[in-house]
Amino acid sequence: LYQPKRLEAFWESFQQVYLDLYGSRLAMIAAISGHAPAAGCVLGLCCDYRILRSTAKIGLNEAKFGLVAPPWIGGMMVDTIGTRQAELAMGLGTLFDADDALKLGLVDRVVLDDGNGDDDILKLAKAEASKWAKMPPRARTATKMITRQAPLERLMERRDEDTKTFVDFCMLDEVQDALGSYLSSLSKK
């Protein structure tokens, strides 16, 4: 289903997105208006504040496809919702509805879906960004790096190993079969 060299290039790009977003000196606000499984959840976890539409789901569902979230992704989940809840969520591949995500602390705010598009969630995200922008930048960035510097450095030290682990898992027959079935089901919708 997948070619190892293409998977390797994809994973290296995805690692870089994580390093750039999670390590950004800027305040990152996520306005999540649709479902955010797997990589969508990772992008949200990289942000400082997450707003989720009430009809959306979010979570790390890799286990359902035979994949394992790497330590740098699992670590963000643990840091966000706690060890036991992260273990349960990642082990079962749970996608949380908006209310449960808010209760767990996976998101910081839920916006009711009023059917009028994304204007409301974007307004809230802009208002939240304004709050963060008013903070002294050096203090905000230094505070952010207290919790983020170590995981960023760990990935930088182990990027090649992390990439090999990801590609090896993806090439397993059981993972290929699960991903193939999932992609097939999407094309039938």
Per-residue pLDDT tens for 66-120?
A: 899 999 999 999 999 999 999 999 999 999 999 999 999 999 999 998 877 788 9
Specify the residue for token string 């070619």: 3
**Reduced to 3 states, what is the DSSP secondary structure of residue 104?**
helix
3-53: pLDDT as tens digits = 899 999 999 999 999 999 999 999 999 999 999 999 999 999 999 999 999
24-36: pLDDT as tens digits = 999 999 999 999 9
Count H helices and E strands in the chain, helices first: 8, 6
130-168: pLDDT as tens digits = 999 999 999 999 999 999 999 999 999 999 999 999 999
8 Å CB contact between 58 and 96:
yes
* Cα 155 from Cα 15, distance rounded (Å): 8
8 Å CB contact between 57 and 37:
yes
Which residue type occupies 129? A
* Cα 187 from Cα 25, distance rounded (Å): 40
pTM of the predicted protein model: 0.93
